[in-house]
Amino acid sequence: MIQEKLTLVAQEQLTDNVFEMVLKGQMAHEPVTPGQFVDVKVPDESLLLRRPFGIASVDPNRDEIRLVYRTVGKGTHLLSELPVGIQLDTLGPLGHGFPTAFLKPGQHALIIGGGTGIPPLYELSRQLNQMGVVVTHAIGFGRRDQIFYADEFRALGEVAYATDDGSYGFHGHIGMLLDAQFNDRQFDAVYACGPRGLLMAVDNRYRDHPHAYISMESRMACGMGECAACVVAAKRKEQLLKVCSDGPVFATGKVEI
């Protein structure tokens, strides 16, 4: 983990309230495990806490890190309006990411994502492809007009979409899609990131899978486990785990969702 002032070199609005920002700096040369995140300080003195963002992709050759985020409050709205060229005080990479070293070329992985839990899964899919792993994606959104990174995921493997309103792909949520299309399919690894309902569905379905992992979305303040603002309860013993430092990735069946 390093602290660096990264330069904002590009920003693009992907959907109504989802943005992609590209940051440039030496942090792009740090080893990144898919599922790790960075903590960005919003350049506003009234906002003391950093904002955590999952790393969507890293390009060391261009010194670039891509982040995708939804505008949900004052901090993210301010970030979406920043001009190119501004420097952002950033900590990262932080947390424990998705384990992948056990996979071999030709094995199969299922990646399950929903909403703004999807961006860190893109870097995961990229790295699995580089390893020769066959990747299948199950991705959920509320509506068709909320979909982003469609071409990017399609270039990496099979994609099955679900939308809550049925405007694109399967009509229903991710849990329903898995029941309808994946009951007879076996995978060597399962990875998921998204809202609570999605994580609960994956945790219930794959709790006994030897290599199934979920990445939890949580409000995080310090990003390093010092403030204990993001604790979750362990399932099988009386213990509190910190999403930012013990996670954000956990094996299924390990934490209360």
* 230 assigned ligand-binding residue: yes
Q: Which two tokens stand for residue 54?
A: 């999952």
Q: Is 193 annotated as a binding residue?
A: no
18, amino acid identity: V
For residue 62, say whether it is annotated as part of any ligand binding site: no
168 labelled binding-site residue: no
Residue 232 marked as a ligand binder: no
Task: Compute the distance between CA of residue 202 and CA of residue 252 in angstroms, rounded to an integer.
Answer: 8
Q: Is 70 annotated as a binding residue?
A: yes
76 is in an annotated binding site: yes
CA angle 113, 229, 58 (to 5 degrees): 40
Strand partners, 92: 2
Contact predicate 93/30, CB 8 Å: yes
The b-or-e profile of 179-202 (16+ CB within 10 A means b, else e) is eeebeeeebbbbbbbbeeebbebb
Residue numbers in the known binding site are 68-70, 75-76, 222, 227, 230, 244
Residue numbers in the known binding site for [2Fe-2S] cluster are 222, 227, 230, 244
Residue numbers in the known binding site for FAD are 68-70, 75-76
